[in-house]
Amino acid sequence: MKKTLLLLVLFAGASGLFAQFSIGIRIGPPPRPRVVRVQPRSPGADYSWVDGYWYPSGRRYAWHGGYWSRPPYAGASWTGPHYAEGQYFDGYWQGGGRQMKHEHGWDKNKKNRDYGRNEGRGHE
């Protein structure tokens, strides 16, 4: 009986080594986008408008207000973030076979948030 019990414990432990285990936090869909009544004037011809959006920040969503930004490289256009089938997808710049997401740490440089961040590199 002890041998059988020992074999069962060893077998259960060995099979657990090959099991997959993951933990995720779901906070649900973001709130509806805020309505912006007035879009500021463009600071220049080479700037693109990025609509405001909600993004996950810990266990809640935080609002990132819309802004003008110079694209990170020539030919890049902004694709906004979205939520689909229970999953949040970050926004990103794309074009010319490259893709780059916006890092919120770059927001301190209001005029050139994304500009030149991906020059000469492939996918981020």
pLDDT at residue 120 tops 70: no
**CA torsion 99→124→101→58, rounded to 10°?**
150
Q: How far is Cα 86 from Cα 61, in angstroms, rounded to an integer?
A: 14
> In the chain, what percentage of residues exceed pLDDT 70?
69
The amino acid occupying position 19 is A
How does pLDDT run across 5-41, given as a tens digit for each residue? 676 666 665 555 556 665 556 788 999 988 878 889 9
Contacts within 8 Å (CB) and 24+ apart, 89-97:
90/55, 91/50, 91/53, 93/118, 95/71, 97/122
The amino acid occupying position 22 is S
> In the chain, what percentage of residues exceed pLDDT 90?
24
pTM over 0.95: no
Token pair of 4 as six digits: 């059988």
